Amino acid sequence: MHSLNQEIKAFSRNNLRKQCTRVTTLTGKKIIETWKDARIHVVEEVEPSSGGSCGYVQDLSLDLHVGVIKPWLLLGSQDAAHDLDILKKHKVTHILNVAYGVENAFLSDFVYKSISILDLPETNILSYFPECFEFIEQAKMEDGVVFVHCNAGVSRAAAIVIGFLMNSEEISFTSAFTLVKNARPSICPNTGFMQQLRTYQEGKQRNECDNIQELEKGDSS
């Protein structure tokens, strides 16, 4: 019987099975990560995956949790947006869809507004605030219930709702983030959105200071 040391010395690296990991990025790009010469190599996958021996396990479970921010303001994922029973249960009347590539499912049942936003740190989320806020305010004025969603209900939709609360409730980023996080614990806006929301707060604070100064000038004249 060969000793363990002999077996190790006799073992050929050619017998090792090559391992790889297929990853789909948020933008839909498919890449393959492989190890070679003790280094990781990343290449873009051109052909569709054939379901071979290496890959990753998709999470196919549905996320039907709806975060209730206000009685009339809800946050969730595309799964909930495509579940009529869930939407009816929460008395939804308006749906703000800020996902990319997600169709509206019940056009005859709800008032929709769709704005395709990419979940990338470099996306200017602030540029979408005015039309999103207008739609949310419209739903509120009509005594409706608005459901805001993206794909996962974690980054884009959360950033929109946080920004809306900062604007309408005149509260800080931290307070708005906490309100939304408590209602839907899974939220996690990407780093770019988080920074933009902080910048948004700074801009609002500057405007408030300018307004105060203008009022003081008017009182002294």
Active site residues: 150
Going by C-alpha positions, the residue among 71, 110, 113 that lies closest to residue 90 is 71
Within 10 A of 151 (CB to CB), how many other CB atoms are there?
A: 21
Q: Tell me how far the alpha carbon of residue 147 is from its chain's centroid.
A: 14
**DSSP one-letter string for 147-204:** EEE-SSSSSHHHHHHHHHHHHHS---HHHHHHHHHHH-TT----HHHHHHHHHHHHHH
Encoded tokens for 49: 């995956």
Q: If you search the block for the tokens 């008032």, which residue do you land on?
A: 111
